[in-house]
Chain A
């Protein structure tokens, strides 16, 4: 048995595929600015109010549809959906405590709702606290749940009565439900009550509508008269149906109390269509009637319901909404005077009241701007805008109304009237809303569109003047944040400096609170996205001072943004920037909470830091780079990904130094030493293994044989400790480990044999490892064994296929040239492997894999050995196995057969050409 001599140079020439230079890089793509667009969009979305979402959809659908019919249909359908989500929002926003005390218990509720008089002692105690309240008798308590379920019961009762043709009872009960809305004594409960009660009243309205519609479409005997179109006219309705409709309006009109009367007429508002083609007059009258309700809360919610029900009418002039809003404003302005507490402060109650009324203002504004047909619309809006400006000074609008108006105004209008709006904001500074939030909103709205530079200039100048008076950091930040985009886009650098100064002045003395941090973060992100260039950003006045004020997660996010920008474009050369980024990274690193390492956030910061370290390039100052790496290792000890980067970087440095010339030997040594020391601290053994191999190669290239020996030893040890690990884990990256072992084998071709330990020392270690480890799959085992056989065959050659690019290192072909013991040792090792190989292959359970493994082994043997009489039987056996597993027509089998055939000595060539019978013999001989 002997190794086959090879001529690698000739073989390469023979088998090489011709190469042609390519014109285009296959991975290059046309550059695009999509990324930037994305960022802008996201920011705008952030600012969008969730309630505005559905409207945007409505507006879109309105714009897209040319057909009027369709658009009206869409307009009819959508309010329902929107309304139900609005109701949910109301209920959630104003949740109620479990018990509600109402001043007088309406009899509707007492039927089954459990009302318990407060026990005398507790009443007495509370009486002492609040004698006035309890002086009025009859304070009752009912649980929220009881109240709600009673209303649901009532709804059922009304339906039942209706279907039993007792429509009078239905109406009476509905009136009682509507009466509940007159009680606003429990402010917090009112929105819930509103939702529940309008639900009932709506249902009655729908029932009436259906009934009249049926009367119009069918005779009493159920014969169809006509079927009404979607947009029918009053003239299509028969006398009887009109009479019934009139009757309903008469009945409602006889309700004594104002509020229930309005609610029920609103419920029946769509029915006006049976009587009139243009029922706008009724709506107008209802708007006026609502003025008679003095209670601000009841009145506001009544208008809310009005706006909702009016959508059921054919589209008409929305002027009534303006009246509604104006009336509401008058009420709002009255609140402080009527609800003033004795000490003159605006009471807590008043504040609650405003917050309860806010959704109604929002909804009205929403209706005003969303549903209109566009032509008549802009007029109206303009009219509104002008109207407001005229009122300026004399009759300032309430800030909360202004806020919602500004929110809904179309962007173009905001841009063209920015100065007027600013004046309005300036003169509306009342209790109902914080003025600074209006300044803030204006900023956001202005940044939505492009406006003329002179207008923007005026606005920004004024706003900066105004905020300079603010002493509270949060207010300052909130306003400034909104104008950031405008300032940046229009390159108003002087304002930017003023703003940054202002922030620092207000932030330096105090601990910045959580919500302020969030805004600061937003400001920083805007700055960073705008400049997108670290030099410019770092040159900003007070940038670092303000950054230092920040802490916590916001700080980390800003840091991450900085790193992101830094690592986006190429290498980082500037030492000062590197220093800054290092500090930024350190801060980020220190903020990582390692107790929950699995979180994506941490992962992302770790990634960013690694990327930064990877991108640092000191150029010719390699010593400094290495020092930097050492610093990084010290500073970012907790990030494992980073250590990998560090080793790669230091190896890179070493290679670069070698390329520069010989003079750097000691530097290469320190690089290798750095890597050697760093690798063990990485927990993942597979990573360790690969890094050991990489470093060993680098060491070898640098001529550091002893280093590389040590590293290879470590690699083998590492391989051993891999086996100690859980078997299942090994299976997961078994391919990775396998390829690393193969890489190790190919590296060993370069490594000069060690005289003391014996040339086959490393090979034997691997072999014993493979043999002793039972859990290794047969496939892996065969492949490793094959690799060792190939390696032995290669090492035995007179000229090795490749050498270390270092003249001082002599490879094995020089060291052991013509040494018989050397090749004997290798041959011995290989022979022992061949003994076991076949058995290992048979252990593979999968037939197909087994076949391929047999062929691989066969190829390996055929290319490593002379096909002597000792070797041929083994090959035959392997091919026979492969044939059984894969079938005679398998291509791999065919090519293997051909290959083996070519290398057979002429005497025994017949062996495999008549494969069938021959192998049979081979088996017998074996």
Chain B
């Protein structure tokens, strides 16, 4: 006995004003009767506080109460019977209430460390008190309504960066300090979610051989807990752009495709905010680094230099 939800779009991406279309597929050994088939769409922002700038007390609370976005349910079929074997019951439902424009805000789906914005569609086949009701749940992805998006593609905004021994706020190895290095380039600070983070980077000089140059994509999640805002940086993805002691004065491209679900448009809501950041980390060859093979990239090390820039992500058409 199985029940399954299938959406028409294989990528499961919908906009709030678009009908969520699909079918309920049942596979039954014998026919059953039911008191109705009900479809529910539920969306919420789940928040939890741990680590980051959260204090001991806040950590105690752990889960902050989730923020509901939508909870809507319709009856697909009134009471009746479902035949044995495979049965497909089509459905269609618009997640957003047609009248209320500003009542609910459909944030885009996002799976972060502390913040998770999730939309679920659930089907329940009610079978009275004697039988357990059959149900199935499926996550679907919400992207911003097209009508609300800017017409023109966002012009990619770039920032020029210099990384030298003098721009570092953390202690460096003496040979790095004395030998010096200079890495320059530019990188996007505003970027459409459909486009890669782009830019370029040139190692102009470095006395100590380079081990690796990586681009870290970080999320910055802030949650209002009581009077306090708890903010945490966490790593989404690392992309290496230089492996080894690359040639000097050669331009290397920066090209990072933004991962789905793990990124969303930069969001500022009352109780929470989601922002992003990019760090360029240069690791130099050093015997010390071998002693710490797996280190958190966010922690500045003696044998590495870094530069972080904020990244604004936007949804475009």
Contacts and interface: CB of A to CB of B under 8 A. Distances in A.
A243 B10 contact: yes
A292 interface: yes
Nearest to B214: A256
A338 B245 CA distance: 10
Interface stretch (A152-160, A283-291, A370-378, A559-567): A283-291
Contacts of A331: 247
A888 interface: no
Given A243-B10, A293-B243, A294-B245, A288 B251 contact: yes
B11 A256 contact: no
A292 B242 contact: yes
A924 to B, nearest CB: 112
A461 B179 CA distance: 51
B213 A292 contact: yes
Interface string A268-308: 00000000000000000100110111110000000000000
B257 A250 contact: yes
A765 interface: no
A243 B11 CA distance: 8
Interface in B242-292: 242-247, 250-253, 255-257, 259-260
Given A288-B252, A292-B213, A331-B247, A258 B242 contact: yes
A182 interface: yes
Contacts of B214: 256
B178 interface: no
A292 B243 contact: yes
B241 A258 contact: yes
Interface in A249-269: 249-250, 253-254, 256-259, 261
B252 A294 contact: no
A171 to B, nearest CB: 15
Nearest to B239: A256
Contact of A259 (B237, B243, B250): B243
Contacts of B245: 294, 338
Given A253-B256, A288-B251, A289-B253, A240 B10 contact: yes
A751 B214 CA distance: 110
Nearest to A292: B242
A330 B196 CA distance: 29
Contacts, number: 71
Contact of B252 (A257, A292, A330): A292
Contact of A257 (B11, B210, B240, B255): B240
Given A250-B259, A331-B247, A294 B11 contact: no
B238 interface: yes
A334 interface: yes
Nearest to A333: B247
A294 B244 CA distance: 5
Interface in A579-617: none
Interface in B206-252: 210, 213-214, 237-247, 250-252
B241 A289 contact: yes
Contacts of B242: 258, 292-294
A285 to B, nearest CB: 6
A240 B10 CA distance: 7
B253 A285 contact: yes
A258 B10 CA distance: 31
Contact of A182 (B237, B243, B255, B257): B243
A231 B213 CA distance: 39
Contact of B255 (A243, A289, A293): A289
Interface in A321-351: 327, 330-331, 334, 338
Contact of B246 (A243, A249, A250, A294): A294
Contacts of A257: 240, 243
Nearest to B236: A254
A258 B240 contact: yes
B242 to A, nearest CB: 4
Most buried by B among A261, A293, A294: A294
Interface residues of B, number: 26
Contacts of B241: 258, 289, 292
Contacts of A285: 253, 255
B257 A249 contact: yes
A257 B213 CA distance: 10
A256 to B, nearest CB: 5
Contacts of A291: 246-247, 250-252
A489 B302 CA distance: 70
Chain A contact residues (Cβ within 8 angstroms of B): what range?
A: 20 to 34
Contacts of A258: 240-243
A182 B10 CA distance: 36
B183 to A, nearest CB: 13
Contacts of A243: 10-11
Contacts of B250: 291, 327, 330
A253 B247 contact: no
Given A243-B10, A243-B11, A253-B256, A294 B238 contact: no
B209 to A, nearest CB: 9
Given A254-B237, A258-B241, A285-B255, A292 B10 contact: no
Most B CB contacts (10 A, CB to CB) among A250, A258, A285, A289 go to A258
B190 to A, nearest CB: 20
Nearest to B250: A291
B305 to A, nearest CB: 17
A257 B243 CA distance: 8
Contacts of B253: 285, 288-289
A281 to B, nearest CB: 11
B181 to A, nearest CB: 15
The interface centre, meaning the residue of B214, B253, B259 with most chain A CB atoms within 10 A of its CB, is: B253
Interface in B151-196: 196
Contacts of A259: 243
A254 B259 contact: yes
A259 B212 CA distance: 12
A731 B75 CA distance: 109
Contact of A330 (B243, B247, B259): B247
A254 to B, nearest CB: 6
B123 to A, nearest CB: 21
Nearest to A294: B244
A294 B11 CA distance: 39
Nearest to B257: A253
Contact of B247 (A240, A249, A294): A294
B192 to A, nearest CB: 14
A138 to B, nearest CB: 11
B193 to A, nearest CB: 12
A229 B214 CA distance: 41
Given A256-B238, A288-B251, A295 B243 contact: yes
A146 B238 CA distance: 33
Contacts of B252: 288-289, 291-292
A285 B254 CA distance: 9
A333 to B, nearest CB: 9
Nearest to B194: A246
A250 B260 contact: yes
Contacts of B257: 249-250, 253-254
Nearest to A220: B10
A750 B210 CA distance: 105
B253 to A, nearest CB: 4
A293 B250 CA distance: 11
Contacts of B239: 253-254, 256, 261
- Find the residue from A182, A288, A331 having the highest chain B CB count within 10 A: A288
B257 to A, nearest CB: 4
A292 B251 contact: no
Interface of B: 10-11, 196, 210, 213-214, 237-247, 250-253, 255-257, 259-260
Given A254-B239, A294-B210, 9 more contacts: A249-B257, A253-B256, A254-B237, A256-B238, A256-B240, A261-B240, A289-B241, A292-B243, A293-B246
12 contacts: A243-B10, A253-B257, A254-B237, A259-B243, A291-B247, A291-B250, A291-B251, A292-B242, A292-B246, A293-B242, A294-B243, A294-B247
The 6 A-B pairs at the shortest CB distance, nearest first, are namely A294-B244, A253-B257, A292-B242, A258-B240, A288-B253, A294-B246
